[in-house]
Each structure stands twice: as C-alpha cells, then as structure tokens.
Structure 1
Amino acid sequence: MKLLTPEIAVRLTANARDRIDAIERGLREPDPRPVARFFSPVGAATWLATEMDVDGILFGLADLGFGCPELGSFSLAELEAVRLPFGLGIERDLLFEAAHPLSVYAEAARAAGSIVLGERRLLTAARRLSGRA
C-alpha cells in the first residue's frame, strides 16, 4: 500500500534538502513540523515523519508502543510492506496537520511515554491557554 502522495513526498524531500543545506552552510539545523503521521490500526505504533531521503528513508519520531518514543530513521518501504491481522497495514492519518515543530512533539511524547498521549497533552495545554478548556 502506498502511504505517500506525490505532494507529501515533495514536502518530505524538501525538508531533507533544507537540513543538508543548513549543515553544509554551518547553520543550525531546522526544526520542521511533521509532514505525515503513520499508525498501526491494530496497535500502539505511531510515526511522525519530517523528511525523506532519495532512498525512501524517513526521519522523524517513532513510537512502537513500548513507552520510549525516539527520534530516528525508518524505512518507507518497510512501513508499506507491514501486514497486520485482518488484512490491514500501516496507515497514514489523512487528517493530520502538525501544529508544532518535531522537537515539541518529541518532548511531549517522551514525557508522556507515547506520541498519542503526548499529542493529547499538547492539545489540552493549547485549549487551556486559549481559554477553551
């Protein structure tokens, strides 16, 4: 199953080029917002991707459901090849729109022990700060 649209692939590769360009110029690496969110429909695994190289290796925040989300690389081909019970596979959250840079999601996920719980805490905090709690 294809997880990326051409538009999302372009955004992911642009972020990778921006990071490489910053490194080459001796600048601080950018902290982009995640472009795509992938999840297992039958488990706790969740991934937030910010960039992709020419080989289809994504970079972002990975949470396999063991209580220790971490920044790192993961393969698009491997995500697309996963076969789960009931004929399901890894899915892309079609409605995902990042509200924060990756570093914020990573900090919230580490503190909460999962990306999903971290996202809930971020949403709750944003509502409180806006007076909509």
Structure 2
Amino acid sequence: MSLLDEATIARLRENNRLTRTAQAEGRTEPDLEPVVKIFAAVGAATLMPARQSLPGCAIVSEMEADGDTLYGLIDMPCTSGPFTALTMGFGEPELGYASLSEIEAVRMPVRHGLKGCAMPPPYSALGMAHAEAYASAMEVDTSWRARGTIRRYAEAAKEARRVVEPK
C-alpha cells in the first residue's frame, strides 16, 4: 500500500508537468506550493507543534513521471531496512530528490499492534512471519497544509537547519 493516495499523486504529477513545461519552453521554473508532508512516525517528530522543527521530514511538491522520484525539501535518511534510524533528519535540509519506494520500505518493529517498541516479540509465539512483524515507519500528515511555496520552506529550513513551517 502506498503512502500517497491517487489525488495526491495527481497533484504532484501536475506540479512536475508545470515545471517540465517551463523548462522545455526556456521559462523560469514555477515556485510551487508543496502538496504533502511525509515524516518519521517515531520519536519526537510525532509530538512536535507545527512551528517547531520536524526531524525526519520531507515536504514534497512534485513527482516525476516514473511514479517513484519525489522532489521537495528533504531532511531524512532514506535507507531501506528494519531498524533504520529515523528519529532525526540529517540537520541539512535541502531541495532535492527522494525515492518514494525507499521511503515506503523503511520499517520499524511492531509489538501487539503498537508501533515503536524497542524489541519485536518472538515471532513464533505470535504465529507471524518475520516480515509481518514490521510496519511502516513513515506517515503522511493528513492535516498538514502548505503555508507557502517550496522555496519559502527551503529558506526557512536553511536558517533553522531543520524543516520548519515558514513565517
């Protein structure tokens, strides 16, 4: 199951089409409003008020035609595999690209249906396969709405050294 719904993907692809059209016509690329915020669903990121820094976060404005490559303000490790450290970003947010499939592949242990336990339970005791003992560590903030363009987010993040909401 994808983190992004069809409507979000359509908006991201439309933004990418606008950018590619401007590039092909030799015009300045549009400064687009971001569409979605993806964040680490563990650690401090889940408890931060909106104006504070957001560790392990991506504010995304575009999706390439390949359906996997995202463009936006990225400050998260995007390494696949269980137990990936996602509670903090790199502290160097920048405009760039990230792979949706890599973000979706990041997993964390699950115990009794709850995310964030330190150790997974014995798999045999619960009758579950190894792969079923992990859940996605990344989430989409469904209540988030952009408060500016992607460049405004980048400027605010450069100053704060973390992804923050622009003033």
AA aligned opposite 1:63: D
Whole-Å separation in 2 of the counterparts to 1:31 and 1:85: 39
Whole-Å separation in 2 of the counterparts to 1:105 and 1:11: 18
Aligned to 1:128: none
Q: Secondary structure at the match of 2:59?
A: strand
Q: Which has the higher helix share?
A: 1
AA aligned opposite 1:42: V
**Aligned residues: percent identity?**
41
* Count of residues in Structure 1 that have an aligned counterpart in Structure 2: 119
Instruction: Please identify the structure whose Cα radius of gyration is greater.
Output: 2
State yes or no: 1:59 paired with 2:107. no
Q: Any idea what the Cα deviations from partners look like across 1:8-27, whole Å, max 9, x if unmatched?
A: 00000001110010011111
Which ranges of structure 1 fall in alignment gaps of 5 or more residues? 126-133
Whole-Å separation in 1 of the counterparts to 2:58 and 2:41: 12
Which ranges of structure 2 fall in alignment gaps of 5 or more residues? 44-54, 77-88, 111-134
Aligned to 2:21: 21
Whole-Å separation in 2 of the counterparts to 1:74 and 1:24: 23
Q: Specify which structure has the bigger relative contact order, considering alpha-carbon pairs within 8 angstroms and separated by 6 or more residues.
A: 2
What TM-score does the superposition give when structure 1 sets the normalisation length?
0.84
- Quote the RMSD (CA, aligned, Å): 1.3
Q: Any idea what the Cα deviations from partners look like across 1:22-68, whole Å, max 9, x if unmatched?
A: 01111110111110100001242000110001221000011122221
Aligned to 1:50: 61
